[in-house]
Amino acid sequence: MSLPDEFLGAWRRVGLIIDGVRRVDYSDVLWLQSSDWFADIRTHIQPGTGPSADDPHIEFAGELSFAGTTDLLDGELRWNHALDSRGHDAPPDQSPVWWQDKLLVESATFQWQGRVVPFVEEWGYLGRDGLHGVGRDGYIRVEAAGLAVEVSAGAGEFSAVKYQSRSGVWVETGRVIGSV
């Protein structure tokens, strides 16, 4: 199923509300969406800083990445994770979305310490120049607006790399690695 054009391109999380409270974002969150593939990478803005372990915000402060395909179903986006730094046990990822001014707003809930916690992510659009996505078994790369995210997994290893185009050269600006 093809996504409407309004969802295609590069997006950055510009707002985060957890349990009704607007929070400082400790991660740079980039979501690139082509017509066939998506890639999402979340890297620390300043390593060593973040919420305390007893704060539900901790669920949004870690480094992780995932990639796959996206569907729009009755006003909800569903990200189908083909590759995920958390392994095969990643939680389902489907949320209602709507437009608020120029922001794409996503809301959902998560389980934390025995309770359901609501959250809202606000996404700012960065553009779609050079939009391109490619995927095959164990590999997905999406490019848009001078940014790229490349995700791969195989033989128990996971790697996601974030790039920015500088004078026509792709320069690495972040990475998430691990075992799956």
From CA 78, how far away is CA 105, in angstroms rounded? 14
102 token code pair: 């120029």
What predicted TM-score, i.e. pTM, was given to this entire model? Answer: 0.95
What domain count does the chain have? 1
Residues 152 and 83: beta-carbon distance below 8 Å:
yes
Per-residue pLDDT of the chain (180 residues; tens, 9 = 90+): 579 999 999 999 999 999 999 999 999 999 999 999 999 999 999 888 999 999 999 999 999 999 999 999 999 999 999 999 998 777 779 999 999 999 999 999 999 999 999 999 999 999 999 999 999 999 999 999 999 999 999 999 999 999 999 999 999 999 999 988
Amino acid at 99: W
Nearest to residue 160, comparing CAs of 180, 140, 177?
177
From CA 37, how far away is CA 46, in angstroms rounded? 29
The residues with which 164 forms a beta bridge, in sequence order, are 147, 171
pLDDT of res. 48: 87
Task: Map 88-109 to HEC letters.
Answer: CCCCCCEEEEEEECCEEEEEEE
pLDDT of res. 1: 54
pLDDT of res. 92: 72
Q: How far is residue 19 from each of residues 22, 90, 116, measured CA to CA in Å? A: 9, 22, 9
Domain with 111 in it: 5-179
pLDDT of res. 2: 76
- The rounded radius of gyration (Å) of the Cα atoms in the chain is 16
Q: What is the CATH number of the domain that holds 55?
A: 2.40.128.280
